[in-house]
Amino acid sequence: MEENQILLETFMVARNPDQQSRLPYLVHIPVGGGLVLKVKDTWPRSSRIYCHPYESDWDPTLELVDEVRVVLCRRRGAAIDLILDRPRLSRSQFIFTEARGREAIFWQTQKAAQAANPGARVPKGRTIESLRILVDTRERYGFRFSTRAVETEKTTLQAGDYAVAVDDRLIATVERKTLEGLMSSLSDGTMAFQMQRLAEVPLAAVVVEADYPEILKTHSGRGAWLADMLARLAVRYPEVPMVFAGSRKFAEDWTHRYLASAMEDFSSK
């Protein structure tokens, strides 16, 4: 058991026992139950590295080339972030994508990503052709998503006004606020409880149909107080971002993109 615990806390590179392979190294990524990949090099220095799943589990008798303690290793949709405990060559990502119509995995650093694919910094998951968005029954004058490939369904949501779900489990949700609605919920304290419910969903956000400066332009002296309340909630619930979209049109656009991205990332896991 202690040996397994060490295994999960370290990132390891070993020589591939198959000497005929074009990918001479193996890496153990401590995510989930442990992911083992065949790779071309021990680190993506100047270019990203092609990876391929290893057919067997990690063998503790393998000849190690490198072993480093992990600071962070977390799957984020179509990517795995890896941060190692060393001063140099410490940050990288494993990207799960498609190349020439086939699934592919690339190991890259920021420098390697810029050289290989400038302008595309965030890995994208599988494209969702049609999106089913749940709309809370209490949502009045809601978004129509009329220009999108979206199917809406009215239901009672535990949190937020718009959500996507898999097997009746919410994956992501968005709370929509007009400027007036935001100020009212901050004033009477209901916004704090809404944030509490949103934080219980894996992915959640608040989108406001206004710009942030408009809060400070409200009734004399009240705008600063409301802004303070908003800042306190943002600190208390950092996992629930607040987006000021500027208008209803852009709030609807952002909501669709957010929920679609959440479903794409979920589908890539």
The domains located in the chain, with CATH, are: 2-116 (no CATH), 131-268 (3.40.50.10130)
What pTM was computed for the model? 0.69
What is the rounded average pLDDT for all residues in the chain?
Answer: 88
Lowest mean pLDDT among 90-94, 145-149, 158-162, 215-219: 215-219
Q: pLDDT category, 53, cuts 50, 70, 90?
A: very high
Q: Are strands 79-84 and 25-29 parallel, antiparallel or unpaired?
A: unpaired
Lowest mean pLDDT among 156-165, 217-226, 233-242, 248-257: 217-226
